[in-house]
C-alpha cells in the first residue's frame, strides 16, 4: 500500500493505492496553515487509509521554501575561511534590474555580525596550504557561544576538493553544540563557485531547524497510528528521499510540492505516445509550468529561491519550473492607476474565495469562474459543500464592476482574461523564450483549476492538443506515487580533455558511483536496484559556463573520449546554434544521478471509480469571451465511455475539478482515462 500527500496553499491532496486490490482513492481537505499536519490526518481519515499497513508514505511540502520567502528560518551563523567571510554578503556584482536607480540587493540570510572566519587554507587541488589550528577553533567556539545562533553553515575555501578542514570544524562544533543544526558545505555540494556553494549551505542551515521540527511533528501522529513503513519526501529534482535524509539536506525539498505533478506529466506523456509535453499545474494559490522533452522534465542547477532579482541562489538540480501567482484563490484588485490586476496575493484556504462562505469578501479567480457559469455551485468537491454564488457576485460587483463601471459578466470575464494572460506568459517563458515552439507540444493540464483554464491558454499559444489526466485535482499527489528514490552527486574536476586518459576519467566516475551506492544503501535500498546515470559539465577553453553532456556507463578506450568530445560539440551546437570542434575542450564537473527504483502502480489503474452525486442540471449557461452566454451540456466524467466524442462548448465535471471545452474543441476519453482535447488549432 502506498499513499502520497501534497500540501498546497489552499488544499491538501491525498492519493492512496492498494496494490493487492488494485484500488485507488483520492481525497481533498482544506489546508491548515497553522498546523499543516492536521489536514494530512484529515485526508487519511476521509480516505479510510490503514496507516499501520502503509509500505510507503510520500509527502510533498512547501515548508522549506516558505521559510525562505517569508524569512522565518533559523538564526543562522556562517563559518568561512579567514579573509573570505564577506564572499556571501558581496555575492555577484551583477545588477538584475539594470535601469532601476532604486534597486537594492536582497539582504543575505546571515548578517555580517553572525559571520566568522577560521585560519586555514586549501588549494583548488585540495592541498593543505595552511593547517587549521586549535587556537582558531577555540576562538570560533567562543564567538558562537556569545552569538547564540540556532544553526550554523560551514563553507571553507575549496572544501569541494578536500573537505578535511570542514570535517574538523564540524566535529568540534558538534561536540560543543550538540543541539545545533550544523551544515557542512561538502556534504551538500562538492562543486566550485564559492558564493553559490556558500548560499546553498546557508539555505540548508536556515531551513533545517524548521523542516526537522515539521517532519517530527508529522511523524508523531503517524507513529501513533502504527505507521512503520518508509516515510519519503519529494525532492526538487523529481525524486524522493527518506525523511531522515530530508532532515540532513532540507534544501533538497525547496520545490518539493510542484515536482510531483511534473513527474506525473512526464510519465503520462510517454505512456500515451507524446513524450514532448508542457506540464501545466494550476492550483488554489499559484500556477506552475515546466517543459518535458523526450519524456524528461527540463532541469536546472542555477535556481533562485524567490526569483532571480530578489532570490537566493541554490546550486542543486531542480525541476525547471516557472511559477506565477495566478491560482483559483488569486485576488482581483484595482491598482492606483485604475488598472485591474489579478494576484499574486491569494485568499488561500482561510478565509478562501468569497464563494466558499468562510468570511472572504475579496473577488478571486474562483469567484469569477462561478459567476461566468464555469463552476457548479451545488456540487463543489463532488458535493462536499456548496458555493455561495451571491457572495461571489457581490464581491466582483462591489470591488471590480462598479469601480470600473463594467457589467458584472464583463468584470468577471476580465478577471479570467488577466489570469489567463499571466499564465500564458509563464508558458511562453519555458517555450518561446528558450527557443521551443509550443505548437509542437501537447499540454498536460492538472491541478484543481488547470482544466478550467487550459483551453484558453492553449488557444493563446496555438497548442493543438490538451490532455486532462485522470483525477487532475490530485495529480501532483498521484505523480508522487510514480517517483523513484534519487540522489545527485557532483565533483569539480577541471581537466583538458586532450590531456585526459579514459582510465583516469573512469576512476573518477567510479569513486562517485561508489558514494551513490553507499548513500542509497543507507536509505535502505538494495544496491542491485540502483541505476547510475553519468554526465559531465564541459566547456571550451577560456569559457566560464558549461554544457551538460551524457557520459557512457564505461570508459574503456580513447575512442570513448573522442565520442564524448563529439557529443559535447553537438550539444553545444543545439544550445547556441554553433560549435567549435577545432578548439580545446575541458571537463569541469563530473555528475552522477543515483536512482533507486521503487515499485509503482500501473498508471491505467489510477482512476477513481466513484460516480459523483447527480448534477443539479444537465445543462447551464456559460460565458465565453467574444461569444457571450452559451447553453452548454454538463457531463459527468465518471460516466463517459471510452472513445465517446464530446464537442464544445461543454462542461465536464468530476470530483475536485471541472473541464471547460470552448466552441470548436473536440474531446474524447482514451483507454487510460485521459481526456484528449483537440483545440482545432494548427500545429
User: What's the confidence (pLDDT) of residue 181?
Assistant: 96
The answer on 125 and 6 residing in a single domain is: no
Beta bridge partners of 635: 652
CA-to-CA dists, residue 435 to 287, 300, 574, 576, angstroms: 22, 16, 10, 10
CA dihedral 394, 400, 402, 403 (to 10 degrees): 140
Read off the CATH number of the domain in which 242 is found: 3.30.420.40
Q: Is position 477 within any domain?
A: no
Cα separation, 174 vs 392, whole angstroms:
56
Residues 514, 499 share a domain: yes
* CA gap 334, 363 in Å, rounded: 11
Q: Which domain holds residue 571?
A: 485-596
Q: Report how many domains make up the chain.
A: 3
CATH of the domain at 501: 3.30.1490
Same structural domain, 104 and 129: yes
Domain co-membership, 94 together with 195: yes
Is 161 a member of any domain? Answer: yes
Q: Is residue 279 part of a domain?
A: no
Please tell me the distance from the alpha carbon of residue 34 to that of residue 41, in angstroms, as a whole number. 14
Q: Note the pLDDT tens digit of each residue in 101-122.
A: 888 888 899 999 999 999 999 9
Q: Where is the domain boundary, 578, 596, 614?
A: 596
* Domain boundary pick from 222, 253, 284: 253
Q: What is the pTM of this model?
A: 0.85
Q: 199 lies in a domain?
A: yes
Residues 78 and 197 in one domain: yes
Residue 659 placed within a domain: no
**Cβ–Cβ < 8 Å for 355, 370:** yes
Helices (H) and strands (E) in the chain, counts: 17, 35
Confidence at residue 24, expressed as pLDDT on a 0 to 100 scale: 79
Residues 77 and 196 placed together within one structural domain of the fold: yes
Say whether both 570 and 490 belong to one domain: yes
Assess whether the previous peptide bond of 26 is cis (omega < 30° from 0).
no
Q: How far is CA 339 from the centre of its chain?
A: 31
Question: Do residue 63 and residue 176 come from a single domain?
Answer: no
For residue 82, give the CATH number of its domain.
3.40.1360
Among residues 181, 207, 233, the one where a domain terminates is: 207
79 in the same domain as 95: yes
Given a cut of 50, the residues of the chain with pLDDT beneath it are: 611, 613-615
Per-residue confidence (pLDDT) for residue 74, from 0 to 100: 94
pLDDT score of 626 = 83
62 & 78 share domain: no
Helix%, strand%, coil% for the chain, nearest 5: 35, 25, 35
Q: How far is CA 412 from the centre of its chain?
A: 30
Closest C-alpha among 82, 71, 76, 104 to residue 183:
76
Whether 35 maps to a domain, the answer reads: yes
Indicate if 567 and 535 belong to the same structural domain. Answer: yes
The answer to whether position 320 is within a domain reads: no
pLDDT at position 46? 87
**Same-domain status, 125 and 201:** yes
Does residue 587 belong to any structural domain of this protein?
yes
Amino acid at each position: 500500500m502506498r499513499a502520497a500527500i501534497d500540501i498546497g496553499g489552499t488544499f491538501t491532496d491525498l492519493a492512496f493505492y492498494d496494490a493487492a486490490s488494485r484500488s485507488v482513492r483520492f481525497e481533498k481537505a482544506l489546508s491548515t496553515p497553522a498546523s499543516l499536519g492536521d489536514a494530512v490526518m484529515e485526508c487519511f481519515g476521509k480516505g479510510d487509509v490503514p496507516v499501520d499497513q502503509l509500505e510507503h508514505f510520500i509527502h510533498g511540502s512547501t515548508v522549506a521554501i516558505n521559510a525562505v520567502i517569508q524569512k522565518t528560518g533559523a538564526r543562522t551563523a556562517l563559518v568561512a575561511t579567514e579573509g573570505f567571510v564577506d564572499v556571501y554578503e558581496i555575492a555577484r556584482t551583477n545588477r538584475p534590474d539594470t535601469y532601476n536607480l532604486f534597486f537594492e540587493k536582497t539582504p543575505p540570510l546571515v548578517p555580517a555580525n553572525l559571520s566568522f572566519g577560521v585560519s586555514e587554507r586549501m588549494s583548488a587541488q585540495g592541498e593543505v596550504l595552511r593547517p587549521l589550528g586549535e587556537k582558531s577553533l577555540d576562538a570560533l567556539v567562543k564567538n558562537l557561544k556569545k552569538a547564540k545562533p540556532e544553526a550554523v553553515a560551514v563553507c571553507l575555501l575549496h572544501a569541494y576538493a578536500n573537505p578535511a578542514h570542514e570535517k574538523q570544524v564540524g566535529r568540534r562544533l558538534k561536540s560543543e553544540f550538540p543541539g545545533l543544526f550544523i551544515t557542512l558545505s561538502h556534504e551538500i555540494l562538492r562543486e566550485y563557485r564559492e558564493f553559490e556553494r556558500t548560499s546553498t549551505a546557508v539555505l540548508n542551515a536556515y531551513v533545517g531547524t524548521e523542516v526537522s521540527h515539521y517532519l517530527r511533528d508529522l511523524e508523531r501522529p503517524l507513529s501513533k497510528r502504527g505507521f512503520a513503513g518508509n516515510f519519503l519526501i519529494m525532492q526538487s529534482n523529481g525524486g524522493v528521499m527518506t525523511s531522515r535524509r530530508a532532515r540532513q539536506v532540507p534544501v533538497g525539498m525547496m520545490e518539493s510540492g510542484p515536482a510531483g505533478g511534473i513527474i506525473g506529466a512526464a510519465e503520462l506523456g510517454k505512456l500515451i505516445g507524446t513524450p514532448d509535453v508542457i506540464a501545466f499545474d494550476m492550483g488554489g494559490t499559484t500556477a506552475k509550468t515546466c517543459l518535458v522533452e523526450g519524456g524528461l522534465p527540463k532541469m536546472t542547477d542555477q535556481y533562485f529561491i524567490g526569483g532571480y532579482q530578489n532570490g537566493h541562489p541554490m546550486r542543486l538540480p531542480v525541476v525547471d519550473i516557472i511559477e506565477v501567482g495566478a491560482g483559483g484563490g488569486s485576488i482581483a484588485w484595482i491598482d492606483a492607476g485604475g488598472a485591474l490586476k489579478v494576484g499574486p496575493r491569494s485568499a488561500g484556504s482561510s478565509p478562501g474565495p468569497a464563494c466558499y462562505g468562510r468570511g472572504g469578501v475579496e473577488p478571486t479567480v474562483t469567484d469569477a469562474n462561478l459567476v461566468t457559469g464555469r463552476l457548479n455551485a451545488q456540487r463543489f468537491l463532488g458535493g462536499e459543500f456548496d458555493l455561495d454564488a451571491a457572495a461571489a457576485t457581490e464581491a466582483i460587483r462591489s470591488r471590480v464592476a462598479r469601480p470600473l463601471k463594467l457589467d458584472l459578466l464583463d468584470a468577471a470575464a476580465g478577471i479570467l482574461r488577466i489570469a489567463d494572460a499571466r499564465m500564458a506568459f509563464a508558458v511562453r517563458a519555458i517555450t518561446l523564450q528558450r527557443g521551443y515552439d509550443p505548437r509542437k507540444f501537447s499540454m498536460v493540464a492538472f491541478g484543481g483549476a488547470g482544466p478550467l483554464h487550459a483551453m484558453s491558454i492553449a488557444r493563446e499559444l496555438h497548442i493543438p492538443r490538451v490532455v486532462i489526466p485522470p483525477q487532475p485535482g490530485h495529480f501532483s499527489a498521484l505523480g508522487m506515487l510514480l517517483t523513484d528514490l534519487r540522489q545527485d552527486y557532483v565533483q569539480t574536476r577541471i581537466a583538458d580533455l586532450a590531456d585526459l586518459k579514459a582510465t583516469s576519467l573512469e576512476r573518477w566516475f567510479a569513486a562517485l558511483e561508489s558514494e551513490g551506492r553507499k548513500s542509497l544503501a543507507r536509505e535502505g535500498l538494495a544496491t542491485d536496484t540502483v541505476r547510475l546515470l553519468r554526465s559531465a559539465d564541459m566547456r571550451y577553453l577560456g569559457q566560464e559556463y558549461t554544457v551538460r553532456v551524457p557520459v557512457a556507463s564505461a570508459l574503456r578506450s580513447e575512442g570513448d573520449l573522442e565520442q564524448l568530445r563529439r557529443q559535447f560539440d553537438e550539444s553545444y551546437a543545439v544550445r547556441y546554434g554553433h560549435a567549435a570542434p577545432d578548439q580545446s575542450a575541458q571537463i569541469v564537473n563530473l555528475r552522477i544521478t543515483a536512482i533507486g527504483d521503487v515499485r509503482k502502480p500501473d498508471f491505467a489503474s489510477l482512476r477513481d471509480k466513484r460516480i459523483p452525486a447527480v448534477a443539479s442540471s444537465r445543462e447551464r449557461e456559460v460565458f465565453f469571451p467574444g461569444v457571450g452566454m452559451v447553453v452548454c451540456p454538463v457531463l459527468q466524467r465518471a460516466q463517459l465511455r471510452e472513445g465517446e466524442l464530446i464537442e464544445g462548448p461543454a462542461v465536464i465535471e468530476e470530483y475536485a475539478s471541472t473541464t471547460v471545452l470552448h466552441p470548436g474543441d473536440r474531446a474524447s476519453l482514451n483507454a487510460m482515462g485521459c481526456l484528449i482535447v483537440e483545440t482545432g488549432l494548427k500545429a
